[in-house]
Amino acid sequence: MHRTSDRAWRGVAGGVGAATLLGLGYVTAQWLRYGHVRKRVGPPTLLDRFLPECEVLERHETRVAAPADVAYLAAREMSLAASPVVRAIFRGRELLMRSSATEERPPQSLIDEVLSIGWAVLAQEPGREIVLGAVTQPWKSDVKFRALPPDEFATFDEPGFAKIAWTIRAEPLGPATSRFYTETRVATTDVDARKRFRRYWTMVSPGVRLIRRESLRVVRADAERRYRARLG
């Protein structure tokens, strides 16, 4: 009996140790990789107008069995707050950063939600793409977003901030197929902000990536449902 118990505890300890090593490995990799952004190939994008150089570039995409206009509308109108996965990640950030609890609010569309907390529309291509941006200090417990006009955002260099711009875009691949993607770029305005954001990003990047992947799942499922309903 004791031998069985000992083996079980050794197994648990080994699992915890392996998870710890994997976690440390991830953190180390993120720290070392920070600022090493692959140069995009292809024609200029709307994001290039606002953050041509960046320290973080996150791009995630999915193929959707629906036209591009349907996928784009589904993306604009999705409510991330309705996702248990996203709610859990936001709650995790609150605990990690010791932030004030987020007030309960009725679910809103993605665009209405982000505009209400301080983001601004920097550019858009109707029916295809929208770019939003803000300057912020996300390493603070209770983060605030400051909206700026497009030209001011592009040239903003006040010390101590991170500039964040992100896009949602749907591209047609055929009459009933499209590619939906989201891309986020971050650049800091001075050495101190870079140090602070680097530490912050090392901690929160797993959650950010999970949110992006969850958003792809939500958009794909909703767009395909809308298109099936359109076909009758």
When mean pLDDT is compared across 13-17, 82-86, 98-102, 195-199, the lowest value belongs to 13-17
Band of the pLDDT at 13, cuts 50, 70, 90?
Answer: very low
Residue 57 has pLDDT above 50, yes or no: yes
What is the token pair recorded at 211? 């949110």
- One-letter amino acid for residue 90 of the chain: F
Q: Is 172 helix (H, G, I), strand (E, B) or coil?
A: strand
CA 140/CA 95 separation, integer angstroms: 13
Question: pLDDT tens for residues 146-199?
Answer: 999 999 999 999 999 999 999 999 999 999 999 999 999 999 999 999 999 999
Band of the pLDDT at 15, cuts 50, 70, 90?
Answer: very low
Residue 161: Cβ-neighbour burial (10 angstroms; 0-12, 13-18, 19+): buried
pLDDT at 1: 52
Residue 123 has pLDDT above 50, yes or no: yes
Question: pLDDT tens for residues 159-170?
Answer: 999 999 999 999
Identify which has the larger pLDDT, 195 or 3. 195
Residue 106: Cβ-neighbour burial (10 angstroms; 0-12, 13-18, 19+): exposed
Residue 19 has pLDDT above 50, yes or no: no
Question: pLDDT tens for residues 66-89?
Answer: 999 999 999 999 887 666 666 565
CA 153/CA 131 separation, integer angstroms: 12
Residue appearing with tokens 């298109």: 227
Residue 126 has pLDDT above 70, yes or no: yes
DSSP code string of 49-94: GT-SS-SEEEEEEEEESS-HHHHHHHHHH--GGG-HHHHHHHHHHH
Residue 16 has pLDDT above 50, yes or no: no
Alpha-carbon torsion, ordered 72, 78, 83, 85, to 10 deg: 40
Residue appearing with tokens 């800091």: 188
CA 58/CA 212 separation, integer angstroms: 9
Q: How many CA atoms lie within 13 A of 46 on its CB side?
A: 21
Looking at the DSSP bridge assignments, the partners of residue 145 are 136
- Averaged pLDDT of the chain: 83
Question: How is residue 48 annotated by DSSP?
Answer: G
What is the token pair recorded at 92? 């995790």
